[in-house]
Amino acid sequence: MSVKPIDQPAQAPEDKLDANKTTVDSTLANVDRVDLLKQYQPADPGKLSLDMPGLTLQGWQDFKVAKLDAAPQTDKVSAATDQQKPTELSKEQRIDNAKKALESPDATIKQKMDAMTTIYKDSEKGKDGRVQVTLNDGGKERIFEINSLAAAKDVHLLQLSTRDAQGKSHPVLRGVERNGEIEQQRNKDGSKADYRGDWWTANSKDSTVSKFSQETKLPNQELQPKLEDKPKLEEKPKQDEKPAPVETDKGKTAPIVEDRTVLPEFAPIPRNRPDFKPEAEKQEPQPERRRREEIIIPWKNKERDGQDTNPGAVRSISELSKFYTRQDDAYSCSAFAVGMAKADHRLGRPIRHGSESQALKDLTKTNGIGYRGTLETLAGQMRQTGLEAKPYSYGMGNVGEQAMQDLNRELAKGHSAVAKVINPHTGNPHYIYIAGRDANGQYILGDPDRKNTQHFKPVSQQYLQRMMSRRDGFVATW
């Protein structure tokens, strides 16, 4: 057993545990806490927050470590990963979804028009600018064509059409897209056209492509619960039900009355009670109403021209729509003037172009040639249509004051007239229908030449006499 020399100092056990004897001891026991806290300035008391620790060594240490470990906050949004990005549909998927919308009768017209736009944009177009698409229409595979025409800025005419066995194209769905909204097309007369084609609706009643839902709910809109599915509200007790009786001190039962208003014993009787008879109120005498003065029509003065006062003789320009029909060629003005007389006195509606107007041309012999008969001949032809007729002939160029007095007398009886005039539009001989006079004494004319637009309002006697002055008269009819 070896013996250690006494003069050799023994090694301290803590030195064996220290791997680096030259390292400065930084344990908390050997740190001057006063010097360490000098580098931290105390916070402003007015700006303290809940996350500000107390001014202790341990508190500051925990605060620094927590702030360093936390992720820095910035205003920039981190880039979305591939999983966060919405998947974009391919062209084939968009076309497939659009086809399903067109085939479904539950899709709205807006959804079907949007589907037509999608297919038109994503598909190849033919030489005529149209896109062909095959759709399942009520269980049958049919070929349709989609066309889009730019009518104005942000306005497009959309049409889905198909062809019949003869190769003629017929619209199936049609509409106007204006700034993303769908509207109905307009007909030539300005009325709204149906979204569905007339021919297709009549010949393909089992079609699902032309059918659409009238509902305008969005695809993701939740369905509202039906009335029977809604929870029933608790029914409140009726006011007529009497409360349950209770036992009183005297052994009798009496209902409990709560929150009742007790009226005084000698309260006044309400005035609205049925058994209360109110006193007759004194009504102030009402002033007598003045009788309405009768409307005096200036040209109905018997002392001036001796005319009849038949109220049925007063006509209105609004009645023009009941009998007016324009001529459809340059020769048959007399035929259409007679037709307007028949419409006014017999039919109650304007004559129609076609068989009705052709029959009048055959009667007056104006097929490709102007009228060549006299006033007496014209009166005889008018009688063949069921009218009564009386000619007034004054000689060519002699239509003056006497002729106008005779005409006014016939019109005052509720009659009308077919007159020979000079056309102010062409300067040629012409025939017009005189329906009557309005309350101001002006004349309601039915001029077959629709280019004489001034005749769509009443004209004066001087104007009509000037038109008739170079001819020989008129035929009164009723």
- 424-467 pLDDT, tens digit per residue, is 988 999 999 999 999 999 999 999 999 999 999 999 999 999 99
- How many other β-carbons are positioned within 10 Å of the β-carbon of residue 337? 29
Contact 450, 326 (CB under 8 A): yes
Range with the poorest average pLDDT among 61-65, 138-142, 173-177, 421-425: 61-65
Residues 307 and 190 in one domain: no
Residue 109 lies in a domain: yes
Per-residue confidence band for 205, with pLDDT thresholds at 50, 70 and 90 = confident
Which of 156, 172, 203 terminates a domain? The answer is 203
CATH number of domain containing 431? 3.90.70.30
Per-residue confidence band for 179, with pLDDT thresholds at 50, 70 and 90 = confident
Higher per-residue pLDDT: 68 or 358: 358
Residues 449 and 306 in one domain: yes
Residue 266 lies in a domain: no
Residue 4 lies in a domain: no
**Residue 476 pLDDT:** 97
Which of 203, 232, 251 terminates a domain? The answer is 203
**Residue 191 pLDDT:** 79
Is the predicted pLDDT of residue 153 greater than 90, yes or no?
Answer: no
pLDDT mean over 15-37: 54
Angstrom distances, CA of residue 71 to CA of 66, 67, 68, 74: 10, 8, 8, 9
H or E element that contains 431: strand 429-437
Contact 84, 95 (CB under 8 A): no
Residues 444 and 327 in one domain: yes
Residue 445 lies in a domain: yes
Is the predicted pLDDT of residue 401 greater than 90, yes or no?
Answer: yes
Residues 198 and 321 in one domain: no
The number of distinct structural domains making up the chain is 2
pTM: 0.40
Residues 349 and 468 in one domain: yes
Range with the poorest average pLDDT among 95-109, 137-151, 233-247, 372-386: 233-247
**Residue 234 pLDDT:** 55
Higher per-residue pLDDT: 48 or 180: 180
**Residue 224 pLDDT:** 47
**Residue 304 pLDDT:** 42
- On average, the pLDDT of the chain sits at 76
Q: Cα angle vertex 345, ends 339, 350, to 5°?
A: 45
Residue 124 lies in a domain: yes
pLDDT mean over 206-229: 60
Is the predicted pLDDT of residue 61 greater than 70, yes or no?
Answer: no
For every residue of 192-224, DSSP letters joined together read BPPSB-HHHHHH-TT-SSS--B-----TTPPPP
Distance of CA 378 to the CA centre of its chain: 51
Task: Output b/e per residue, 124-140; b: 16+ Cβ within 10 A.
Answer: eeeeeebbebebebbee
Residues 323 and 466 in one domain: yes
Residues 333 and 470 in one domain: yes
Residue 26 lies in a domain: no
The number of residues in the chain equals: 478
Q: How far apart are CA 367 and CA 329, in angstroms?
A: 9
pLDDT mean over 275-293: 62
The model's pLDDT over 321-355, given as tens digits with 9 standing for 90+, comes to 999 999 999 999 999 999 999 999 999 999 999 99
> Which ranges constitute the DSSP H helices of 70-197?
91-103, 109-122
Residues 457 and 321 in one domain: yes
Residue 150 lies in a domain: yes
**Residue 423 pLDDT:** 93
Helix axes 333-342, 375-384, angle to 10 degrees: 50
Instruction: List the helix and strand counts (H, then E) for the chain.
Output: 13, 12
Residue 230 lies in a domain: no
Residues 168 and 311 in one domain: no
Percent above pLDDT 70 for the chain: 61
pLDDT mean over 155-159: 84
Q: How far apart are CA 333 and CA 448, in angstroms?
A: 6
Contact 146, 120 (CB under 8 A): yes
pLDDT mean over 352-372: 93
Which of 162, 177, 203 terminates a domain? The answer is 203
pLDDT mean over 80-93: 69
Residues 199 and 306 in one domain: no
**Residue 333 pLDDT:** 95
**Residue 458 pLDDT:** 96
Higher per-residue pLDDT: 156 or 269: 156
Higher per-residue pLDDT: 181 or 283: 181
Structure tokens at 158: 């959309």
Residue 140 lies in domain: 91-203
